[in-house]
Homo-oligomer: A and B are copies of this chain.
Amino acid sequence: MSTQVADASLSLQAALRDVAAEVDRQFDHLLAVPADPRARLYEAMRHAAIGGGKRLRPLLTFATAQLFAVDRICAARAATAIECIHVYSLIHDDLPAMDDDDMRRGKPTVHKAFDEATAILAGDCLHALAFEILADPATHADPFVRNELIADLARASGPSGMAGGQMMDLMAEGQSFDLATVTRCQALKTGALIACSVEAGAILGRVPPEGRTGLRGYARDIGLAFQIADDILDVEGDQDAVGKQLRKDEAAGKETFLTLLGLDRAREQARLLVNQSIAHLHSYGPEADLLRAIARFVLERDR
């Protein structure tokens, strides 16, 4: 391993740690438990939001924001808002009526640790909280910037984004989706929020839409590579390391990148996408090394 790669990997680990600590700090502050009957609701939100996950989306927002010298508090708040949406989607996705999962991030899922009604409400609250955070002037003094963050996150998480993709994913059981449909499904289900995480950094940096082409290409490619890697992890991963039940797609008879491409071609495709995502960053210098390291991490992660 060259020194440069070793350094990038060291600083990626440090960045992952820093961002995870920062997001936990934000959640701890935002989710202070009130002394009234809503305490259980806040405990459920804390259970889901604090101390778990790779925090890939917040890291993408931080890494993009640092390209444009964005204030760290602004980046932290926007990143936390996006993570609110991610966490709410995990809570609802894990419900018995959806994927019916008992474990998430190595802990019992919210409906297991609490109950279904509390899980539904905790998800709904984190959903609202995301927009409350973004609409607050503390996130950015300029209301145009706050508005663009909100519009982008609402689009990425709603029926034309994440939730639309989850619906397609539900419909995938028992139907034989082709590669184009699986790609579109995943572009919505996980790609949209990953793209939004990168876009948020650029919005905070006041980069106009026409200046975001490279970053958008980067985000689209790592989003897809992330999902292919996820499909591979689902088949080859270690359940304890991943922290959730694996091999469920196979049991449900769902088409995935793996069933459609086979393991070797899927792995090759993910590698190509990661290279391509890094190529999109050609106009940036060493300040984009963290984004490059994240792209490689997407492929090599074991959880």
> A residues near B, CB below 8 A?
36-38, 40-42, 45, 88-89, 92, 95, 97-98, 111, 115-121, 123-125, 127-129, 131-132, 134-136, 143-144, 146-148, 150-151, 153-155, 157-159, 161, 163-164, 166-168, 170-172, 175, 181, 184-185
Contacts and interface: CB of A to CB of B under 8 A. Distances in A.
30 contacts: A38-B164, A38-B168, A40-B167, A41-B159, A41-B167, A88-B124, A92-B120, A92-B121, A97-B111, A98-B117, A98-B120, A117-B170, A121-B163, A123-B124, A124-B127, A124-B163, A125-B159, A127-B128, A128-B154, A129-B154, A131-B154, A132-B154, A132-B155, A132-B158, A134-B150, A135-B147, A135-B148, A135-B154, A136-B151, A147-B150
B41 A164 contact: yes
Contacts of A155: 132
A31 B215 CA distance: 30
B92 A124 contact: yes
Nearest to A129: B158
Contacts of A111: 97
Copies per assembly: 2
A38 B207 CA distance: 32
Contacts of A125: 158-159, 163-164
Contacts of A127: 124, 127-128
A167 B131 contact: no
Nearest to A157: B128
Contacts of A166: 121
Contacts of A154: 128-129, 131-132, 135
Given A147-B143, A151-B135, A37 B128 contact: no
A118 to B, nearest CB: 7
A120 B97 contact: yes
Contacts of A150: 131, 134-135, 147, 150
A181 B36 CA distance: 9
B128 A159 contact: yes
A89 B36 CA distance: 22
Contacts of A146: 143, 147
Contacts of A36: 168, 184
Contacts of A175: 37
Nearest to A31: B159
A89 B123 CA distance: 12
A40 B170 CA distance: 11
Contact of A144 (B41, B143, B164): B143
